[in-house]
Every structure is written in structure tokens, then in C-alpha cells.
Chains A and B, each alone.
Chain A
């Protein structure tokens, strides 16, 4: 159920993120969610995409430093307390959230230190996990 996230190493300079996005566009890859964070000198841009394998191939061919990781995608009802509920389940299971960000709509991505256990913990609760296939369709 986990989905692929593609991360790219980026120098903190104008236009570098844009070049990556242009390459995605040229390859017909749609960005469904992303996060870009930095340390001052360099950053890591993380993407949830409809076609992660195509994206990774595009980046590798460009010689970019890119890698793939597994994240859990969850659709949250758009009402107070839902984010707290999800984080509560993960905390109860003793799993650490390394980072998390939201996608389009009220879908969030969470990268944890134990993806499988987190997935099991969430599946026992009324939580809507999103699959890689569903990312193709979500509006």
C-alpha cells in the first residue's frame, strides 16, 4: 500500500527546482504532491508522482542525485482532529515520523522509520490509505 517518493538533491540556487519540474513535464509526469526543504546550502526536494519509475529514470539520465523511498499516503476527512488522530495511531505503535507533508486535497504523505508496522497500525483504524494506482486518478 505504501507509495514511492522520489527525492532529489538540489543546490540552493535559483532555477534548480524548476529544471527538475521542467524535466517531469517533458516526460509527462504529474506531480501529486511535493515538499522542498533546505539546510541553507543544499536542499532535498521530495515528490509524490503518478509515474515514479519514469521520473526516477528521467532524473538518473540527467545525472541528478535522486533516490526512491516508501511513504504512506492517507486521505483525511477535512475536519478538525483528523491529522491528530493519524499521528496518534502512529505514536501509539511506537513509530517515529521522520517527515510528513500534504499532497493535493487533504492527502498527506508520511515517511516513518518503520513503514510496514505503521501501515499495519493504520489499517486497523478507520483511515483511508491511498495506493500508487489511486494517485493516477485523484483530482
Chain B
């Protein structure tokens, strides 16, 4: 299988370039990008002056550490066009992030930015085993969100037939799979699961459907959830990585040889992994916060963007033949981290436990509150119809089993509540699975 995948590149010359060539390209582009931002964006000029840095100080890739960090707040402070490095006449598109609080984050693109972006997406789509012969069904929403248009133009560039159905209307999606024999589905993992459930209830035959690949994004997809979708939809699910602030999807993609790792398009993105508390760089392979500097941006150059995503990166060789570094699947964000009774807890840990328990659906909700000054965590889990028995004793035994499994993994004892099948809200966008009702001090 892996043998077949070799040679299946969108841009073989750069995707399999020797590492020294990649590093050379990165340094050249970094120096250009820093000068570009310094000359054209007053905000950067001021920051550079504050730090006593000039573009010519960048002599090696390590010198990126001399540059200021940017984060979501930077983009809010400069909203809407404060970071724009080209005349607004030359900006051909705007996108904004799905930010849940405060002002949105807006990013402009030049024509060349869009071209680079769709190249990056085409590469990662091909990494996932998609070819120009594929028919791609879009179940992401379009609009300001980068996922819809980003994947759309990337797939089109690759030469796929794209069916721009958009999000929602699950029955129509099922009809389109049947009528147009689509082979690739682009969706959030929770929407894919929803499609799965609706299809099953309508007697849709996933086993003999034309779909073969899922390109999932918009929210994290745990290993358990991926296996669940793969089993029920009879497809290969792939992950990819990107964020609006550095352009959108296409920063990296999962190759089929080394599942669970995303190759970063290093000729367009310089990565760093830092300790999110001390901001110090971490040795290769150690988990920390991913910091990205896009290297090819014209309209909205972004320096050392703090992604808040926790990952680790390896430059070791990959069986697919690509030489670009790989980042592990993002399982947690620095701001997803919950502190419960003084211990760190990620919702993904809860999900990992739940998907391993037979009799539970892969949907859950976490509620945090206080009782007598102590943090209390309640996990609502959804019972599968087959797991129900006409006995309180057995149901309680099952509930206790869930409590025990969670306690072993989280080292705190949660309250577990059993919910009826289908009762926990399915979301199309980022799943809102945590509700923190604790009093803030």
C-alpha cells in the first residue's frame, strides 16, 4: 500500500526536497518576509523598534526568536486592516475566524496568497490519497470560515470534481452521494457522525456507497472517533491542520503512510514548538505550543503566531517519501485545558475513555461546578440502545464502570449521568462540549 503512495505528490520537487534545501528556502523566505512586514506595516515597525530588532538581524532560522510573537489579541487590536501590508485595492478576498468571543479575526488575501493557499491545500488533499479523478462533496459551510473556500479551491486546483453542497440538509447530502457517486467527504467529524446516524436510520447503505475518503477538520477528531466513523461509513478518515490567522487549512496534512501525523508545508510555514508558560523553545519531539510564521504572505504577514495548539514535531524521515517535518495530531489546546481540583484536564482525555467503552455513543458533555467550595465534574454520556437493560442494578453497574474508567484516566472521580440515545446535542461547527459553571474568584 505504502509503495503505491510513493510518487503520489502534488508538487514532488518541493515535497521530497532534501532537508538542507528546505532550510535554505525557509531562511531566504523568512528574511524576505520580515523585511516585507517591517517596510509595509507600521505595527511591526513599532514592535521591532521596541525589541531593538532590524530585518538584517535575521541571519539564521534560530534568529526568528528575536521577532515579536503575535496572537489572536494582536489581530483584534489591529482589526480590521492594521496588519495589511498591501494596498486594500490589491486584496481580493477576506475571511474571518469562527472566534466565539469578542471581535472576529479578519484576514485579507492577495491573489498570490490565494494561489499559495490552494497549492498547500492541493498538496495535503493528495497526501490523503485523493486524486484528480475524485468527486469531492463539501459539507463545510462556506461564508467567512476558511474551511469551505480553502478546501474548495484546493480540490479544484488538484482537478477534482467538487460538489459545493455546503453544510446542513443531511438528507440532501445522502442523496448526492448516491446520485453523483461522490468519493470524498469534507466535513467536521461530528457532522460526519451525524450523517452516519441519519443515513443508518434511513437505511442508507454506507458499505456499498461510493465514498472512500473523509477530509475532516474544523474541530479535533480523536482516534476513537475516527475509528468509529471509519467503521460505520466504510471510509478512510484523514485529518489536516490549519488556522485562519495564518491563512486557513493547508498548513499541514496527514499522509496515509504515517497516520496521525501532519506534514507541515515547510516551504510556506516556519514552525517552532515552545513551552507555553515560559515561551522558551523546546527540543524537537517534545510536546508544546505550536508557533507558526507564514513565509509566503503578501497581504497579512503574521510573525510567530501563537496557535495555542499543543503538538510535537519530528523531522525524521517518513515512509511516504516526503521530507517535510511532521506534527502530531493536535489533541489539545492551551486554552482547552481545564483545571479541576488543581489538576490539568483536557476534554480529549474524557473522549478517549468514553470511545473505549462499549455501550456508549461518542457524544458527551462535561459540566463543571462547585459544591461546598470543591470543583465538581459531571460527565453526561449517551447510552446506546443495546446497552440498556431492564434492571436498575445493571444500569448502575454500567454507570459505575464508566466512573471507574474515567477515574483511572483522569485521576479524579467524576459524576456520570446516563443520557438517552440521541439526546446530547450534535454540532456542525466546533462542538461545545464543556460548560464551566464554577464561580470565578
A interface, CB within 8 angstroms of B: 5, 7, 9-11, 16, 37, 39, 41-42, 44, 46, 60-61, 63-67, 69, 98, 111
List 16 interface pairs A-B (beta carbons < 8 Å), by A numbering: A7-B390, A11-B419, A11-B420, A39-B395, A39-B396, A42-B395, A42-B417, A44-B392, A60-B385, A63-B385, A63-B421, A63-B422, A65-B387, A65-B421, A67-B388, A98-B391
Instruction: Say whether B389 faces chain A, with CB atoms less than 8 Å apart.
Output: yes
Q: Which residues of A contact B235 (CB under 8 A)?
A: none
Query: In the bound complex, do residue B392 and residue A65 qualify as a contact, i.e. CB atoms below 8 Å apart?
Result: no
Q: Which residues of A contact B417 (CB under 8 A)?
A: 41-42
Query: In the bound complex, do residue A39 and residue B419 qualify as a contact, i.e. CB atoms below 8 Å apart?
Result: no
**B425–chain A nearest beta-carbon distance, Å:** 14
| Chain B: interface residue total (CB-CB under 8 A) | 19
Find the residue from A5, A41, A64 having the highest chain B CB count within 10 A. Answer: A41
Query: In the bound complex, do residue B418 and residue A66 qualify as a contact, i.e. CB atoms below 8 Å apart?
Result: no
A113–B342 Cα gap in the complex (Å)? 47
B283-303 to A contact mask, C-beta < 8 Å, 1/0: 000000000000000000000
A-B contact count (CB 8 A): 52
Among B389, B418, B420, the residue within 8 A (CB) of A64 is B420
Q: Which residues of B contact A67 (CB under 8 A)?
A: 388-390
Instruction: Say whether B334 faces chain A, with CB atoms less than 8 Å apart.
Output: no
**B148–chain A nearest beta-carbon distance, Å:** 30
Among A10, A37, A46, A65, the residue within 8 A (CB) of B385 is A65
Instruction: Say whether B383 faces chain A, with CB atoms less than 8 Å apart.
Output: yes
Query: In the bound complex, do residue A5 and residue B390 qualify as a contact, i.e. CB atoms below 8 Å apart?
Result: yes
Q: Which residues of B contact A66 (CB under 8 A)?
A: 385, 388
A39–B421 Cα gap in the complex (Å)? 18
A66–B417 Cα gap in the complex (Å)? 18
A10–B201 Cα gap in the complex (Å)? 21
B362-404 to A contact mask, C-beta < 8 Å, 1/0: 0000000000000000000001110111111001100000000
Given contacts A65-B384, A67-B388, 18 further A-B pairs with CB under 8 A are: A5-B390, A7-B390, A9-B395, A9-B420, A11-B418, A37-B392, A39-B392, A39-B396, A41-B417, A41-B418, A42-B395, A44-B392, A60-B385, A64-B421, A65-B421, A66-B385, A98-B391, A111-B390
Q: Which residues of A contact B390 (CB under 8 A)?
A: 5, 7, 44, 46, 67, 69, 111
Q: Which residues of B contact A11 (CB under 8 A)?
A: 418-420, 423
